[in-house]
Amino acid sequence: MSATDGLIANAERYFEQGFHDGTRAVRPALQLTVVSCMDSRIDLFSLLGLKIGDAHMIRNAGGVVTEDTIRSLAISQRFLGTREIVLIHHTNCGLEGLDDQRLADDLESETGTRPAWRARGFTDVADDVRRSIEAIRADPFVMEKGSIRGFVFDVVTGRLEEVHPTPG
SS (H, E, C) 59-109: EEHHHCCCHHHHHHHHHHHHHHCCCEEEEEEECCCCCECCCHHHHHHHHHH
Specify the pTM: 0.92
Could you read off the pLDDT of 69-94 as tens digits, one per residue? 999 999 999 999 999 999 999 999 99
Question: For the chain, which residues score pLDDT lower than 70?
Answer: 167-168
- Going along the chain from its start, the domains and CATH numbers come out as 25-163 (3.40.1050.10)
